[in-house]
A and B are shown apart, each in its own frame.
Chain A
Amino acid sequence: MHDDIDFDQILNQYRSDPFEYIDVRTSHTGLLQFRAKEEDVVEGVTGEWQHIKGTLLFELERERNIKPVHSSVIGVVSSIERSLEGKFVEAGETVMTIRHPLKKREIIERILKNVLSIFPAPERAKYFFAMDIQSRIDKHGQRSISIKPNDEILTMSLMKRDTPVSYQGAPGIIHSVYFEPGQTIDQGQPLLGICSEDTLPLIQKIIARVKAEWD
């Protein structure tokens, strides 16, 4: 099924450039003032409750309100659109790029995304497993849980409104869980990684190989 994926090539790519380049975009319109410069080392969000903000990257002023924008990841500012300094920018404009060093775990996750079917968060909210799924996970472990399209697998909670979330995708088992109960997940971020049972050996092989070969 995934025989066409050249894992040697993928691993070599990560070996030669073990970074992810993250574009930082403006969340809304406003006057832009940079507060970081090229090659600055920036910190990501930290703290037990993810409550300590990362390094201040820039500020957007709109309607006399100044909105500070902080880095969400650790890394180095690799480029800045200096021409935008002091200018009015549109929402969604890329204003800088952060070079984020990938850890072994992140590399495994990224490679696995080639073979896992990723189920993303439909809205920025907190998520937890549907009660029957949770009790099955508690009893048998997540990789024993088979799911198919339209199964209610999660509950999304936002402002005390609970929404059942149905799975859409190919039938399979829950291989990776990317959220923790009570943690706010941004829209589009991965919640689950699903794979077919016959893909499991390949996944184990990838994990074993990265673990063995990566320093």
Chain B
Amino acid sequence: MGLIASEYQQSLHSEPSSRSYLPPEIASAILRYGAIVGCEIEHLRHAQRCMDLAREKILSCEGENRSFPSGHVLIADQLTGSKGRFLRHWHAPEGGIWMVLTIVNTLLPQQAQLYSLAAGVACCEALRHYQVNASIKWVNDVLINGRKVAGILTETMRGPTSGEEFFLIGIGINVNNSSFAPELRNSATSMAEFSGHPFALEEVTARLLSKLSWNIGLLHYAEAENLATGHGLDNDLPHPLITVWRALSDTLGRQVRFGFNVMESPQFTAKAIDIDNRGQLLMRLANGQMLRENSGEIVYL
């Protein structure tokens, strides 16, 4: 845990590439907003499911009339009961990063729905820092050459005592692990498999945390700026996070199949055109009609 924390502090100070174009006072403001990320880091050898454990910790904390720290990070070396959406299998052996970041949501709804995108951007940026050719598939899957290297699952819970809305952002990255369940063999990959060499897990974890800190800070900064300048949150001005997402994603311009649960119930095929400032995917059907979706999944065709 100490190693991750110290690497994290170094990452925060040694990673100016994505913000070099910003005036220092803006970069500082963004870093201040994001500083809560990793305020507490817990590292476990193994756990059944980080998400469940984070929930238990919130309940236990509130049961003792204490506030659960926003920005708390729970990391496990391996998970024995992990699962993805719709109870899909998620293989989480040693060698990967399996973590949950818990944030108390203080954003307005228009911005809060961008947390999922911010987490995807952070993962993708962390991988690219190591010259791993990763890209984002809407909403926030991270792929290398079409194979999934990182997945994000976000859940919400309401603190029973505090009434706070907790966002539990579960992130899994295949870093050095290269054994996958048979059904995932052709659709999953790892950083090591792509690069041909292993990575220092603590360093990658720290890099991920610094990217999360920056991108979550960016969300808060964008909200504050839009409110302060009177533009409001439903404007069409370029959103800094959406701009970065577009640059990292290979979704736009692709022919996709869409479904709320696309594996079991595909709904239609369309061309992905753009995402809006709420992160919604705009798609064009073959007949030219446009659709805008705020939830669901796509597969590339």
Whether A170 is near chain B, meaning CB under 8 Å from some CB there, is no
Q: List, in ascending order, chain B residues with CB within 8 A of A62's CB.
A: 235
Whether B64 is near chain A, meaning CB under 8 Å from some CB there, is no
With A and B bound together, what is the CA distance between A211 and B290 in angstroms?
A: 38
Q: Is the CB of A164 within 8 A of B116?
A: no
Whether A124 is near chain B, meaning CB under 8 Å from some CB there, is yes
Q: Hey, what's the 0/1 contact readout for A149-174 against B, CB within 8 Å counting as 1?
A: 00000000111111110100000000
Q: Hey, what's the 0/1 contact readout for B146-177 against A, CB within 8 Å counting as 1?
A: 00000011111110000000010000000000
Q: Hey, what's the 0/1 contact readout for B184-200 against A, CB within 8 Å counting as 1?
A: 00000000000000000
Whether B25 is near chain A, meaning CB under 8 Å from some CB there, is no
Q: List, in ascending order, chain B residues with CB within 8 A of A92's CB.
A: none
Whether B267 is near chain A, meaning CB under 8 Å from some CB there, is yes
Q: Is the CB of B294 within 8 A of A51?
A: no
Q: Is the CB of B291 within 8 A of A161?
A: no
Whether A17 is near chain B, meaning CB under 8 Å from some CB there, is no
Q: In chain B, what residue has the closest Cβ to A150?
A: B160
Q: Is the CB of A126 within 8 A of B296?
A: yes
How many contacts A-B (CB < 8 Å)?
A: 81
Q: Is the CB of B155 within 8 A of A162?
A: yes
With A and B bound together, what is the CA distance between A166 and B158 in angstroms?
A: 10
Whether B81 is near chain A, meaning CB under 8 Å from some CB there, is no
Q: Is the CB of A159 within 8 A of B289?
A: no
Q: Is the CB of A184 within 8 A of B294?
A: yes
Question: Contacts A160-B85, A160-B140 given: A182-B114 contact, CB under 8 Å?
Answer: no
With A and B bound together, what is the CA distance between A46 and B294 in angstroms?
A: 18
On chain A, which size bracket covers the interface?
20 to 34
Q: Is the CB of A51 within 8 A of B260?
A: no
Question: Contacts A27-B234, A28-B232, A126-B294 given: A161-B260 contact, CB under 8 Å?
Answer: no
Interface size on B, residues (CB 8 A): 38
Q: Is the CB of B113 within 8 A of A159?
A: yes
Question: Contacts A182-B267, A182-B296, A184-B294 given: A161-B234 contact, CB under 8 Å?
Answer: no
With A and B bound together, what is the CA distance between A208 and B117 in angstroms?
A: 49
CB proximity to A under 8 Å, residues B281-301:
285, 289-291, 293-297
Q: List, in ascending order, chain A residues with CB within 8 A of B17's CB.
A: none
Q: List, in ascending order, chain A residues with CB within 8 A of B237's CB.
A: 63
Question: Contacts A159-B113, A159-B116, A162-B155 given: A126-B236 contact, CB under 8 Å?
Answer: no
**Given pairs A125-B294, A160-B140, A184-B294, 9 additional interface contacts (CB within 8 A):** A49-B267, A124-B294, A158-B295, A159-B114, A160-B116, A160-B295, A164-B157, A182-B259, A184-B293
Taking Cβ atoms with an 8 Å cutoff, the residues of B that contact A are 85, 109, 113-117, 139-140, 152-158, 167, 231-232, 234-237, 259-260, 265, 267-268, 279, 285, 289-291, 293-297
A sample of 9 inter-chain contacts (CB < 8 A) reads: A28-B232, A49-B268, A158-B295, A159-B116, A162-B155, A163-B157, A181-B260, A184-B293, A184-B295
Taking Cβ atoms with an 8 Å cutoff, the residues of A that contact B are 27-28, 47-49, 51-52, 62-63, 65, 123-126, 128, 157-164, 166, 181-182, 184
Closest 8 CB pairs of A and B: A163-B156, A182-B260, A161-B154, A160-B139, A159-B116, A51-B291, A157-B295, A159-B113
